[in-house]
Structure 1
Amino acid sequence: MGAVAVGADAAVAPATAAPASPAAEPAPPAGRAVPDTATEQGAQRAARQSGKRVEVGSMRTETRTVYATPEGSFVLEQHARPVRVRQDGRWTEVDTTLRRQADGSVAPVATAVGLRFSGGGRTPMATVARGARSLAVSWPGALPVPALDGATATYAEVLPGVDLQVTADVDGFSHVLVVKSRQAALSGRLDRLRYSLDSQGLSVRQSKGGGLQAVDPAGTEVFTAPTPLMWDTPETSGTLRAATAARPGEGPPPGSRHERMGLEVAGDTLALAPDRGMLTAPGTRYPIYLDPSVSAPRGAWTAVWRKYPNTNYLNSGDVARVGYEGQTGQTNRSFFQMNNGSAIHGKQIIRATLRTYESWSWSCGARPVELWLTSVIGNTTTWNNQPAWVAWLDTENVAKGWSTACPGGGVEFDATHAAVRAAAENWPTITLGLRAANEGDTYAWKKFHNNPVLVIEYNSPPATPAAADAWSDPGGGCVSGDARPAVGTATPKLWAKLRDGDNSVKGRFEWHRDGARIGEFLTPAASSGNAFYAGVPAGAYQDGSVIRWRVRAEDGIATSAWSPWCEIRVDTTAPEREPVVTSEQYPENAWGVGLGRAGSFTFGANGVADVTAFVYGLNDVPDTEVNASGGQAAVWLTPDEDGPNVLSVRSKDAAGKQGPIRSYVFNVRDGTGPTGHWTLDEGQGGAAADSAGDHPMTLGGAAWTDGRQAGALRFAGAGQHAATAAGIVASERNLAVSAWVRLAGTTLPDHNAAAVSQDGELHAGPWLGYRAATRSWSFKLNNSAGTSQSVWADNPAVVPRAGEWTHLTGVYDAAAKAMYLYVDGHLAAGPVPYHGGAGPAGSLRLGQAQHQGGMTDPWPGDVDDVRVWDRAVYADEIVRLVNQGSTPTGHWTLDEGTGTAAADATGRTGPLTLGGDAAWTQGWLGGALAVDGIAGHAAAGKAAVRTDQSFTVAAWVQLDTLPAADVVAVAQGGERTSAFALGYTAQGPRWGFGMITADADAPDLVMARSDAVPYTMEWTHVAGVYDAPARKLRVYVGGQFVAAAETDFHSTWNADGPLQVGRGIFAGAMMAHWPGTLDDVRTYQGALGDDDIARLAAE
């Protein structure tokens, strides 16, 4: 439904008054539907209806949740590490609890990487996998059956007096050797521990900092292990002993002595060398813990250790440590990198809070800890190479976790300044650092959980009203200075169309006199896009005054900037009155007949004696003149905007003087659907149903065939047709006709060919099809009944292509007396003047046309999805029509799990064949395809889309690494290059969707690059859209539109090579292989809209 007017007269209604709409009561909704919460606006509608916050489904990731609130804001909760993962196509909370598996192994319930531990015997101690790449670590000997306790598997007595504990983490594992006695430490069997390694798609090497790296063929880390540590048991008792007891995976407790262990990698062997001095020192307290760990690097968090100034601990399984620990002389700082993406870019930040959990403090005496904004962290972050400490954010004086007197608990820090900068400067991440305020005070030493959450409440500020969005009644459009109009009243209504990205908005109007504000009015709230108004009160202005006014939008949280100043001059003398305006079809302040339908508007002199003409403008300044007769005139106009429309009219006298402007406001309903709609999907039988009415078509020799979407009709010879029994539209009134058409063969016909036509008395009109004389698509009407005086709307520069589906739309606007032709959503011809008269409306036909009473112009080819309207349709409607016909051409769920082929659920493109080292694995929506970045891929047997028409491609993707060069998730090419590629671009790096101008080795590239930054190990939904009518490339990340190509693009070639998944063709060679995992690949012929893609991402 179109917009409604919202406002009140300031003289009689306070700012809190209920809406007083000047419009007639709008058409009631058919029913209150449950909002679609996949999109931000849908979730916000649901939040307002329920009074509770509602999650935005399409924005959920492993680390992020976004909620819409009833107040109109959004809340983003961003964790440093995953809190949920996808299993069997559904979200599940992270659960590292170990369970015994059917094959005897042990595995956690739900983690972000594949983890499997030995169930005993000589199977690998631990295997960690990401897609097709994996690393298995084996104990040098047989293992006993483990005892399971939560996330930890304990293998007792793997050596005399030594237990092995392996602990699952969300993105890796740690294992601890518990040396229980001095006798075990002195045995010599711990001097050098050798583990065997088995890697798939990886090379294992020693890192510069003394740890381990497992890298892919491009040299990018897939798994990493920091320098291993060992520590003894602290000398504590009572509550301190309980608080400091060693917990698997948490690293050295306070008071323990700790040392680094030696680590060496040679071939398929990992050797650990514990510090012999610590093992045998007289003061060592047992048990001793030897703790190497392995994780998948994300850049999520790290700590730096002053005692080990060149060691990196990125994504350690340890707790986060802060401050100075006096017993060992160790000082720590911790950092957390939050992948906020583009969700808050350009938003107003209301507040931001870092929520942490302090698990231990040195005492119950509170000590201050500081939160800072820092620069980014990575695998080179160490004490000697810390990120920059950019800005202090907050200090909290707390002590939690020492004992039952001050148990562990949450600590919240104000991070608003960091979020404000990230939103204003479009940062993809926010990195925060924690450190003690006094790093010489041992009582300031603290431990925190390593997965805090950054909570950001944000709002989309209302859009600033432009001059084109504001007008007065009377007075017309917003102008100032010498162009200001004269109005015959001192109490005009001030109007504005207001918008807000979060939907609900109010309008604040203010008016000035002689440089000072003398009044204002705040309207009630209404939906974005509505027209709002305020009435200037009586007594505020006199004859000759200038009303200077402006308006801004407010949403209860933020305000827009003010609109430009608008001015009206009060002139109640000569000419004394504005004209009278009436319309039967479009009554003032009421809902009219609808978009695309002409209406008659009558102008009257309103008692002014010498009116000779009227000057008018629809949604524009009055500049079109019509002569008056007897002080009256009538014009036919066709509104081309739904919602509020403004017809500005002024009288003109014999001397050429123009009177005050009359602003006639009326509301236009959304355009009605077609009068007739034949999908042609039956596939059998002798009739085609009219889904919009009661005008079935009877087939006369036409045959059913496959269409652009489902079914279609094929016409292969003269006389073959399909026709209704009666006419559908009157050719002297507004009308439109559209169809998907395809000419058969490879050459254009040498005769006129009518796809759609309607019989007249002797000649067809309207007529839509191919015109041989100009070798172009054409739309035709006849000038008068019974003659062949035709008017053609065509454009020889838009060349038809045989064998290809093309969308044609012909439009006639009777009020403007003009014809238009649209090809694939583009205006190809028009306005073409047409002044035809009325004639009889006969049968609507497909495949032929009437001429001199007989049938001619046979159509050689296919016709699909025919629609006819008894109104004009407009460019944006036609573009939506072209794009809403988006047809699924391929859907590969990649759930097979076995074999070498992936089925196409649509059946249109056919299966993908796996090649290289492509392998099945777990994915986003069940199964997925793991590819190695070297040769792994999957390819269809043919093209999935025509690349010279609108199309959409989408997939769930995950990167094992961030390559130094561009890599392709999905592409389709010709002989030398890919016409399009969706994937990762190293420039930034960013997600990207690009298209190539020609099938050549060095063509031009047009690309839409996201502002969202890719991260390893994070499942992301990416989609690329080529919108041919708009000539735009758009890229979507996580279901949200994030970027369009900076330049317009018109694809002039169709790549007919097979669809490629995991690679593309460039300069004649297959390259740009994807290193990671791909899932749920989809292709569509047609441009999907924002909401469609949001729904895909929400699955």
Structure 2
Amino acid sequence: MMKKTVPVTLVGAVAAAATALATGSAAHAAAPAHHSPMTHQVAAPSTSIPAAFRSASQAATRTHRGVVVSSQTTPTSQLTALPNGQFKLDTSAGPVRIQRGNGWVPINTTLQRGTDGMIRPVAATDQVAFSGGGTGPLVILGSGAHTTTLSLPLTLPTPVLSGSSATYRNIYPGVDLNLTATGTGYTETLVVRTAAAAANPHLATLRITATTRGMHLSKAHDGSLTLTGSGGQDFNAAPPAMWDSTNHPHLGPAPTATDPGGATITPMSTTVTTSSTTGASAASAVGAATTQNTIAIVPPKTALTGPGVTYPLYIDPSFNVTRSSFLTVTSGGYHYDDDSSEDLDVGDCDWSYCNGIGVARSFFDVNTTAFEGTTGVAHVSNAIVTVEEIWSAASTATDVNLEQTQGFPPTQTWPGPSSEGVLDTQASVAGYTGHAPAQVKFGDANVINAFQGLANAHGKTLYLGLVAPNEGDGDEWKRFSNVASDTTAQVFFDYAPATPTDLTIDPNDVVCGTYLTTDTPTFSAQSTDENPTGNTTPVGISFATFRDNLTDPTPVAGNKTKTPIVTTGSANGTATWDAATTDATNPGPLYPAHWEIQAQATSLATDSTQESSAWTTPLQFSYDPTAPAAPTITSNGGGSFTLNAPGAAGFAWALNSQEEPVPTSNQCTYNSTSSTGGLVTADSTGTASLTVPGWLPYNYLFVEAFTGSHVPSPESSTLPTDTASTTHHLELPNPR
């Protein structure tokens, strides 16, 4: 069989041999037909890794610290080149930074008053402004030609600012209005402090005037609202809900103005009416049109002032930017998308105070645009998805599944997007009976495989779901944080070397690119380090052979044996391997067979994972040192002869004292004739027709057959007569 040798054509330093390479089966084309030339395989130079990746990787190695690939930074993801040659992708389920000028700053929802008197967060993804008090709009969404103002029919007091919240005290007696900025919008809550305040007729029907410019307001059947605008930002509002201060510890923490926690949530009815449209035709609600709409929200009377209500009471109609990064659906029909006031619920809410929630499932997505922007396929070595559990119904750890799902729109309802399988299951407990919030980390091999699948497809979004393993067990009820920075993924990856190019056989060892002339040929291939760090990281090239017997012109993959042969080259270098000696791994040179050889490159860096490229397309060749039998020569009269030798690729002939011509190593067609000799090609049966020019009856005809490897047969010759005869090594007096 074969062995390995230390190559002499390496570029730069040679590393130790790589570890054994994977041996999965490969598809094989048919073996070459006899005497059809085969050229070496040439692949295009690789340009699969963007220049920005390379530059950051080299800088990380030079400075011994991580370097951010700034061109890959988005509101939800950041790519960092590490000193060991790997890349680290940190991605979150929602925005955690915004772009300011040429740089990025973390989201900061702390409120501050502007020169126009409006109140805005320091740094948020969307244009949201709160009233500074007075008769103007309560909230302005969007900017420029695409805005919506939301107004209440009252004069607002000057708000009290505290961090992300603005509180408008006593907009009605005993009723405060709380606005809280989030990274993607805001929450709005009316805090009704007493039963007397709840009896105020203004609360029986809450009316909000929405004046849209270049945007369109619509209501879905479940009461959710959507603001859309061509060229502007889109916002959505989950169905409005209310809750009181009655706490059910199994459900969640104590209710607040921004989080219902363990309260019973009560939905409210919503209607939208359009009173006027100006600046465009009535048929157009988008563009330059300004439209005035009235949103009417009606709380159930029993939820406002009924028996058993615990005050303060909270009423929540809020808008957030539509991003479809968070979604919760329930079997009871209630669902919400990107609602900053709602946690991500999971499991069976089977208590009477669940108010018909039923079973909940929550979903989110993470951004992986770093995979999308390259033609090279990243190899994912590790991946961890982290979520923060803030509450669980049980006082001991219970399981939750992380599933990969299909994509989901904001309007997705029960049962949620289709599952593509469970990636990992983790047990956790949080919140209830004094447990602190818990980070739940999913890092099973299936999680790595999910990101690898996305890398293979150059995909930009991975959709995930949190689902209770037993949706009939109330102890598996859990709540998870909807804060973007609490729901994250961290992915480590690098790039395998380029698939080898210029897989060739030494020209001195092959005839016509297909037929070996030796059982110890030399092969060579090139590869490029696709994860350069600025060092001369060596690249190993493994050669694998496949063989079959010569009686079957179409090799069958199942009949082949793959023998990886590892030899080392350096970054952007050439590696060679021959089969001249025997060792324990490769016990012998080639034997007669149809053969295929492939090459695979492996990064031999010791400070990073050793990644392997794809195998090359097989290069086909044959080795058969067996000489054919001496040819038979049948005279047909007049200098016409039929030649035959099974397995022959062609015949060499000569007259009288001349020597038969010898085909050269690159001579692959054999139809050449002169007055004294020549070559003729055989068909698949080893038969050829020969007409000798100027044939005379007293001529001697000498013929040798040869194989595709140009191995000659014993010589045959004819008598100096023009009668049909065949001779093999006749001992006749002749001109030779």
Normalising by the smaller structure, the TM-score range is: 0.5 to 0.7
CA drift at 1:293: 0.8
> For the structure 1 residues 153 and 411, does the alpha-carbon distance in structure 2 shift closer, same or farther, using more than 3 Å as the test?
farther
Residues 256 and 175 (structure 1), Cα distance of their counterparts in 2 relative to 1, 3 Å cut: same
| Equivalent residues in 2 for 1:60-99, closer than 5 Å | 60-99=73-112
Deviations 1:892-934 (A, max 9, x none): xxxxxxxxxxxxxxxxxxxxxxxxxxxxxxxxxxxxxxxxxxx
3-state SS of 2:399 partner: strand
C-alpha change, 1:217 and 1:513, in structure 2 (3 Å) is closer
| Distance in 2, Cα, partners of 1:513 & 1:434 | 50
Match for residue 390 of structure 2? 359
The residue that corresponds to 1:1047 in the other structure is none
SS of aligned partner of 2:323: coil
Q: For 2:471 and 2:318, locate their aligned partners in 1 and report how far apart those are by CA, in whole Å.
A: 28
What secondary structure sits across from 2:202 in the alignment? Answer: coil
**Rounded Cα–Cα distance in structure 2 between residues aligned with 1:477 and 1:274:** 89
Deviation at 1:548, TM superposition (A): 7.4
**Can you list the C-alpha shifts for 1:87-124, whole angstroms capped at 9, x where unaligned?**
23321111111122233321111111111111222232
Q: 2:439 aligns with which of 409, 417, 421?
A: 409
User: What's the counterpart of residue 264 of structure 1?
Assistant: 272
Is 1:508 paired with 2:520? no
Choose from 490, 508, 521 the match for 1:455: 490
Q: In 2 relative to 1, CA 132–77 (structure 1 residues): closer, same or farther, beyond 3 Å?
A: farther
Q: Which residue of 2 aligns with 1:278?
A: 303
Give 1:334-345 correspondences, 5 Å limit.
334-341=362-369, 343=371
Determine the C-alpha separation between the residues in 2 that align with 1:543 and 1:412: 49
CA contact (8 A) 2:128 2:141 kept: yes
Q: Which has the higher strand share?
A: 1
TM-score, scaled relative to structure 1:
0.45
> Which amino acid in 1 is paired with 2:240?
P
Amino acid at match of 1:278: A
- Distance in 2 (alpha carbons) for counterparts of 1:544 and 1:430: 50
Quick one: distance in 1 between partners of 2:331 and 2:150?
A: 30
- Distance between the aligned counterparts of 2:180 and 2:271, measured in 1? 20
Match runs of 1:178-257 below 5 Å: 178-216=191-229, 222-235=234-247, 244-250=253-259, 252-257=260-265
Alignment correspondent of 2:179: 166
Distance 2:219 2:546 in 1: 74
Q: 1:306 to 1:9 in 2, by over 3 A?
A: same
Is the radius of gyration larger for structure 1 or structure 2? Answer: 2
Kindly tell me: are residues 176 and 38 of structure 1, through their superposed partners in 2, closer, same or farther at Cα, counting changes over 3 Å? farther
Size of the aligned set, in residue pairs, is 553
Is the Cα–Cα contact under 8 Å of residues 473 and 495 in structure 1 kept in the other structure?
no
Matching residue of 2:637:
none
Name the residue aligned to 1:716. Answer: none
Conservation of the 8 A alpha-carbon contact between 1:15 and 1:522: no
Alignment correspondent of 1:1019: none
Return the alpha-carbon distance in structure 1 between the equivalents of residues 591 and 398 of structure 2.
70
Q: What secondary structure, in the 3-state scheme, does the structure 2 residue paired with 1:285 have? A: coil
- Counterpart among 374, 398, 422 of residue 392 in structure 1: 422
Please state how far the C-alpha of 1:131 moved relative to its aligned partner: 5.7
1:446 match: 478
Question: C-alpha separation between the residues in 2 aligned to 1:518 and 1:379?
Answer: 51
Matches within 5 A, 1:675-714: none
**Contact 1:178–1:287 under 8 Å retained in 2:** yes
* 2:361 aligned with 1:333: yes
Letter in 1 for 2:326: W
Q: Which SS does the other structure have where 1:41 is aligned? A: helix
Q: Secondary structure at the match of 2:203?
A: coil
**Which of the numbers 615, 631, 634 marks the counterpart of 1:561?**
615
With normalisation by structure 2, the TM-score equals: 0.65
C-alpha distance after superposition, 1:573-623 (max 9, x if no partner): 9xxxxxxxxxxxxxxxxxxxxxxxxxxxxxxxxxxxx9x999899xxx999
- Corresponding residue for 1:1032? none
> Residues 950-961 of structure 1 correspond to what in structure 2 (within 5 A)?
none
Asked whether the equivalents of residues 251 and 392 of structure 2 are also in contact (C-alpha less than 8 Å), the reply is no
**Contact 2:397–2:428 under 8 Å retained in 1:** yes
TM-fit CA distance, 1:564: 1.9
Question: Which is bigger in relative contact order (C-alpha 8 A, separation at least 6)?
Answer: 2
What code does the residue aligned with 1:77 have? Answer: D
Give the C-alpha shift of residue 181 in structure 1: 0.9
Task: Give the gaps of 5 or more residues in structure 1.
Answer: 1-5, 19-35, 574-609, 624-654, 662-1099
Distance 1:16 1:461, change over 3 A: closer
Q: Equivalent residues in 2 for 1:844-855 (5 A)?
A: none
Q: Distance in 1 between matches of 2:379 and 2:578?
A: 31
Q: Measure the CA separation in 2 of the matches of 1:214 and 1:407.
A: 34
What is the CA distance between 1:310 and its match in structure 2? 5.8
Secondary structure of the 1:189 match is helix
Residues 523, 131 of structure 1: CA spacing in aligned structure 2 closer, same or farther, 3 A cutoff? farther
Cα deviation, 1:326-350, whole Å, max 9, x if unaligned, reads 3522342111133434726855444
Q: Which amino acid aligns with 1:153?
A: A
Q: Of 368, 388, 395, which residue of structure 1 is paired with 2:399?
A: 368
Contact map agreement 2:498 2:601 (CA 8 A) in 1: yes
State the 1:162 CA deviation. Answer: 0.9
In structure 2, distance between residues paired with 1:315 and 1:150? 20
In structure 2, C-alpha distance between the alignment counterparts of 1:391 and 1:242, rounded to whole Å? 27
| Aligned Cα root-mean-square deviation (Å) | 4.3
**Contact 2:596 2:619 survives alignment (8 Å):** yes
Q: Is 2:320 the counterpart of 1:321?
A: no
Matched, 1:303 2:332: no
Shift of 1:426: 5.6
Matching residue's letter, 2:504: A
Partner of 2:685: none
Distance 1:161 1:126, change over 3 A: same
Deviation at 1:264, TM superposition (A): 3.4
Shift of 1:233: 0.6
Note the C-alpha offset of 1:438: 2.8
The Cα shift of 1:158 comes to 1.4
Q: 1:142 to 1:530 in 2, by over 3 A?
A: same
The Cα offsets for residues 504-558 of structure 1, whole Å up to 9 and x where unpaired, read as: 632123568998989865344632x421223545457679978975422123123
Give the letter aligned to residue 531 of structure 1: T
Supply the distance in 2 between the matched residues of 1:368 and 1:477 (Cα, whole angstroms): 66
Match of 1:705 in 2: none
In the TM superposition, residue 128 of structure 1 has moved relative to its aligned partner by: 1.6
- Distance change >3 Å, CA 190–CA 115, structure 1 → 2: same
Cα 1:513/1:173, change in 2 over 3 Å: closer
* Other structure's SS at 1:469 match: strand
Question: Does the C-alpha gap of structure 1 residues 367 and 544 become closer, same or farther in structure 2, counting only changes over 3 Å?
Answer: closer
Q: Superposed, which structure 2 residues align to 1:456-855 within 5 Å? A: 456-465=491-500, 468-472=502-506, 474-475=508-509, 479=513, 483-486=514-517, 493-499=522-528, 501-503=530-532, 505-510=539-544, 521-524=565-568, 526-527=570-571, 529-538=572-581, 550-555=598-603, 556-561=610-615, 563-565=617-619
Query: Secondary structure of the residue that 1:278 maps to in structure 2?
Result: helix
CA spacing shift, 1:519–1:161, aligned 2, 3 Å: closer
For residue 82 of structure 1, give the secondary structure of its aligned residue in structure 2.
coil
Q: What per-residue deviation string (whole Å, max 9, x for no partner) do you get for residues 124-175 of structure 1? A: 2211215631112123222222222221111111111111110111221111
Alpha carbons of structure 1 residues 88 and 622: separation in structure 2 relative to 1, 3 Å:
farther
Q: CA deviation at 1:471?
A: 3.3
Deviation at 1:311, TM superposition (A): 4.9
Give the match for residue 691 of structure 2. Answer: none
Residue 115 (str. 1) matches residue 128 (str. 2):
yes
How far 1:420 sits from its partner (Å)? 4.3
In the superposition, relative to structure 1, how do residues 111 and 471 fare at CA in structure 2: closer, same or farther (>3 Å)? farther
On the 8 A contact 2:177/2:191 being kept in 1, the answer is yes
Amino acid at match of 2:261: P
User: Which whole-Å CA distance do the structure 2 matches of 1:464 and 1:211 have between them?
Assistant: 52
8 Å contact from structure 2 (residues 53, 69) kept in 1: yes
